[in-house]
Amino acid sequence: MILVLLLVSSGLAQLLSNVLPTFPSGCNRTDYFDASHLHCFPCRNGSVPSSDSFTCICSNRQRLVEVTPGGPICQDCPPGTVPAPDGLSCIGCIGQTNCSTYCPPDSVAVYRKTDGSVPEVSGVECVRCAAGTSPDSAQERCEKCSDRSCLCTEDRSSPSCPSTLNIISSPSLSTIFLSSGDIVSNQINSTILISSARRCQLGSQVDCQALGNICVLQNYQRDVQTACTVFESISNVPPAMNQWAPNMPWLFYYSADAASELQREAVIDQLYKFTKDHHGELDILAARYTLNGSFLGLKEISDVSIQLCVESLVASKKTFTFGTRIRQACKLDVAELIRHEEPVFFDLYLRFTNTQGVKQMYPLPVVNENIRKTGGYPNREERSAQWILTRRFFLVDAWSLKEGETGNWTALRYASSIEINVEMVNTRDGKIYPPYVRIVYDEMRKNEVVPDREVDASFSIRYYTNPFRHDKDLEIAMAVLSSLTVLWSALRAYSWGRRAGKAVFDVATLIQFLLFECSFLGDVFLFVTTVTVCWLTFAYKAQTALFYMQLTDSQESTLMAYLISAASLKFVALLHRFVSLMLTETFFIDWERPKVLPRADLDRPASLDPIKYDGAKEQAVVIWRTYLVANEWNELQNYRKTSMAVQVLAMVFFLDFLHWKDLAIWQPGFEIDPISSSFASSRVSRLAVSLFFYFAIGFIQWLLNVFIVERILLDPFHNFIDLCSIANISVLSLSHPLYGFYIHGRSVHGWADTGMTEMNEFLQRERDNLVGMRGLESGGELQTYYVSLPLSFRKRYSELANGSSNEASGATARMQNVDPTTIQISSRARTHAAMNRFLQDMVEHSLPDVDYTIRERTLAEAALDIELSDSSSLGVFTRDHSESAFARCFVYGNEWAKLSFEALLFSIVFVYTSSVPLAAVVTYISAVSLRMLASMMFTNHLVKSSLVDHRFLI
């Protein structure tokens, strides 16, 4: 098979097309394999391919006339002669039966006269080399010489080796420019560099590669004289041209700026998809070269490690599936880096199939962040037209910075970060821009090169698209919804002001507006962020044709900023909600009337009214019913639709035990299996998985509790209403000074202080419809109402509530020599009786100045949660047909405030730690701590507002 090199006319981008062979055996017998161009070229001027097919040489019947950049010029030897061992002349063998010019391996061939001429007829004398010397590769001289190129050294020129190279010896030729700005000496002395340069100019492909490698080791430095400037002087490529010089490796991009080069849409003519065929594969090939320029081959990147972290077997099978994000980090021992005797150099190519079905290759540019230009580092910018694009890179350099061949290191360099970036074209048709490799080198100085030291290294593959479209959509959504929250917060603040009896807009109303805005703005941030990350993550995995892409790091940072802002706002909103619940005023109205005790001389009193019955005594109303109802109310304070323990255990089970957290990996499909940790998720994808499953589990708990458990097994709120009816106690709970909820619990039997037998009879009569309805309204069953009370109610209520605190004092307790709690409860009992009587009279319409009317709630009031009628003079009881509106006085009615904050807390911990158990523990501990604190505060304020004895609340 043959690699065909296509030059793209508008830039340096090169396309290698047609059938891709197994190099270099795919070349014809008359062709050689050009390792610089990865292409088979025919040998010219009578030359033939060498045994390894990497160069052209003269045949065994020819002599070398001249070395040119285009290859050697060969000439057939006349009849009766054969090529001399050096291949530069012909020697005669007329009349000889053996014309062989080869000598034993330890000998050199002597065939020239003392004046250097070659006789027409001569035999070849084999002379054994003396001790301490050895033949060169041509067996011409007893000296150390690696190959025939020693004929063309920096200080020797001949007709066969012409040279016009003019290199001024400079210290910069023997230095390496580190990323820190330091300049260190190295093993690449000027002699090696100049020798390679001279042989490269004379057409030695291997030496051109070696010269290019030295340029790479010098970090492509061109501000002073280096291997790079020598390389460019030989290649002599004008900036406007887009071709490689003959035999020269491609190191630099000259014609276009980096931004234009990386935004070429038409050069990679393949539509990528999430499929199992070639459309779903990122097929990258690596051409490898040794330090001396030898070509090691062209192999798939999955078969050749271009990074220092060892890839696991499971991961390597999927690493280059298109769309799979890779992020692998590891620790490397310095001893392992030192074992790299010489650096290996890489050129990368993207292999693809165009729309005509023809296989092609595209060279991948490299953004080396260590390249300096006029003292700066242009490649360290995020994206810039000033980037310097190059082609070749290495992984470890443990050779060039040695002090001599066997000395210590002055520095050790290694690729600490390699990232392959693939940007999708915004047309969403599956096309990509030219991928590029971003690489960062770290260095260790002499005192840091300790064998047992560990260093960090990473390798990643990133897919992304232009962030403008996502950024614009996000900005529009946030702007529109955030504007609506201002209007909604203003409406809620207005509603709060009316319910609090505020006649004008004041500072308290402004504070409430800001607190409402925190809640609603946090909901907007949470909603938009959740929808965005879930949609992008799961739509990305579900698609076949590419439409949705991963977000960039800056976009992820923006979403995380919104997420953290949402968590902060929701925490403020949660505190606001809990403070509002704690300050709710609740009073238990006892409808039980005191019984009259008969005189000893009569069986029963003539009247139940002690005023009408002389000598009769009143039996106090039993308080245990009030304590029972108060305890039940207190237990409902922290009752929730969801269980925190079930929530976090389910998250750990599904995400960690069943590995559902692997859905956060950026890869096509919803496959869940234990795979390598190098397959990378991102903050966005982890956020999507955590929020989706947290809300899904919470919503399922919500549905099961509300529609199954409460309807079939246990409904604590309707049971509480039944308890109030049996206990003959109503509940008035004020979430605002003039607004709250009322549960009518007046017994239809008239009293509740009775024995078990009579209570059983009461219940039977109620089942047989032999008693009246439980409802507040005559003939009605409805027992729950929204209440909007007049201003006169608040005045009377506050006066009675303040009376209790003013009566009790420590001085009174000391004077009477009793416990202060006894004095306090005694005073509270008197206030409780007065408050109970006041509320009874209000409910029974016995107070003309504190009266109310009953009506239905309008649709607008239900939708906006606001009262549209004026209740400043006449109160309004609005029917609650759900019989559960009073749950807003508890955590149960504010489930979203807790669930949303807990979801955000769990997600933030999981996003930044990738640990589900840790996120579960942190979330559970914070929720339980907040619950314990809230429970204590709830109980304390309930005692204060209901005037019950705190010693009987458990």
Q: What's the confidence (pLDDT) of residue 10?
A: 35
Q: What's the confidence (pLDDT) of residue 492?
A: 94
pLDDT digits (tens, 9 = 90+) for 571-616: 999 999 999 999 999 999 999 988 776 655 555 554 555 555 555 5
Is pLDDT larger for residue 171 or for residue 792? 792
What does each C-alpha distance from 493 to 486, 489, 580 come to in angstroms? 10, 6, 14
Judge whether residue 314 has pLDDT over 50.
no
Domain boundaries, the chain: 258-466, 471-588+635-713+893-946, 726-889
Contact indicator for 194, 154 with CB cutoff of 8 Å: yes
- For the record, the structure tokens of 31 come out as 């062709």
Judge whether residue 229 has pLDDT over 80.
yes
Judge whether residue 837 has pLDDT over 90.
yes
CA-CA-CA-CA torsion sign (421, 323, 19, 265): negative
Is pLDDT larger for residue 78 or for residue 692? 692
Give the whole-angstrom CA distance, residue 810 versus residue 821: 9
Burial of 330 (0-12, 13-18, 19+ CB in 10 A): middle
Q: What's the confidence (pLDDT) of residue 478?
A: 92
Question: Among residues 308, 830, 326, which one has the least CA distance to residue 316?
Answer: 326
Contact indicator for 437, 420 with CB cutoff of 8 Å: yes
pLDDT band at 636 (very low <50, low <70, confident <90, very high): very high
Q: What's the confidence (pLDDT) of residue 123?
A: 57
Q: Which residues of 339-363 are buried (b: 16+ CB within 10 A; e: fewer)?
A: ebeebbbbbbbbbbbeeeeebbbbb
Average pLDDT over residues 237-256: 63
Average pLDDT over residues 18-37: 68
pLDDT band at 855 (very low <50, low <70, confident <90, very high): very high
pLDDT band at 155 (very low <50, low <70, confident <90, very high): very low
Give the whole-angstrom CA distance, residue 43 versus residue 888: 90
pLDDT digits (tens, 9 = 90+) for 870-913: 888 999 999 999 999 999 999 999 999 999 999 999 999 999 99
Average pLDDT over residues 136-155: 54
Q: What's the confidence (pLDDT) of residue 597?
A: 67
Residue 646 carries which side chain, given as an amino acid letter?
Answer: V
Give the whole-angstrom CA distance, residue 806 versus residue 822: 15
Strand, helix or coil at 198? helix
pLDDT digits (tens, 9 = 90+) for 488-523: 999 999 999 999 988 788 899 999 999 999 999 999
Q: What's the confidence (pLDDT) of residue 5?
A: 33
Q: What's the confidence (pLDDT) of residue 490?
A: 94
Judge whether residue 232 has pLDDT over 50.
yes
Instruction: State the residue for tokens 């420590």.
Output: 810
Judge whether residue 813 has pLDDT over 80.
no
Least trusted range by pLDDT, from 159-163, 265-269, 416-420: 159-163
pLDDT band at 345 (very low <50, low <70, confident <90, very high): very high
pLDDT band at 719 (very low <50, low <70, confident <90, very high): very high
Give the whole-angstrom CA distance, residue 48 versus residue 27: 12
For residue 213, what are the contacts with CB-CB under 8 A and spacing of at least 6?
289, 291, 293, 343, 345, 392, 394
Portion of the chain with pLDDT greater than 70, in percent: 81
> What mean pLDDT is reported for the chain?
81
Judge whether residue 727 has pLDDT over 90.
yes
Q: What is the pTM of this model?
A: 0.76
Give the whole-angstrom CA distance, residue 679 versus residue 677: 5
Judge whether residue 949 has pLDDT over 90.
no
Judge whether residue 915 has pLDDT over 70.
yes
pLDDT digits (tens, 9 = 90+) for 391-407: 999 998 877 776 655 55
Q: What beta strand segments (E) does 308-410 contain?
A: 326-333, 345-353, 359-363, 366-368, 389-390, 392-394, 396-397
Contact indicator for 307, 444 with CB cutoff of 8 Å: no
Portion of the chain with pLDDT greater than 90, in percent: 35
Q: What's the confidence (pLDDT) of residue 809?
A: 52
pLDDT digits (tens, 9 = 90+) for 88-130: 778 776 544 446 666 776 677 777 666 656 665 555 677 777 7
pLDDT band at 306 (very low <50, low <70, confident <90, very high): confident
Q: What's the confidence (pLDDT) of residue 705?
A: 93
pLDDT digits (tens, 9 = 90+) for 197-214: 877 877 778 888 988 998
Judge whether residue 149 has pLDDT over 80.
no
Average pLDDT over residues 415-442: 88
Average pLDDT over residues 676-680: 62
Average pLDDT over residues 364-392: 86
Q: What's the confidence (pLDDT) of residue 174?
A: 77
Give the whole-angstrom CA distance, residue 344 versus residue 359: 27
Q: What's the confidence (pLDDT) of residue 240?
A: 42
Average pLDDT over residues 904-931: 94
Q: What's the confidence (pLDDT) of residue 772?
A: 82
Judge whether residue 408 has pLDDT over 80.
no
Give the whole-angstrom CA distance, residue 951 versus residue 623: 13
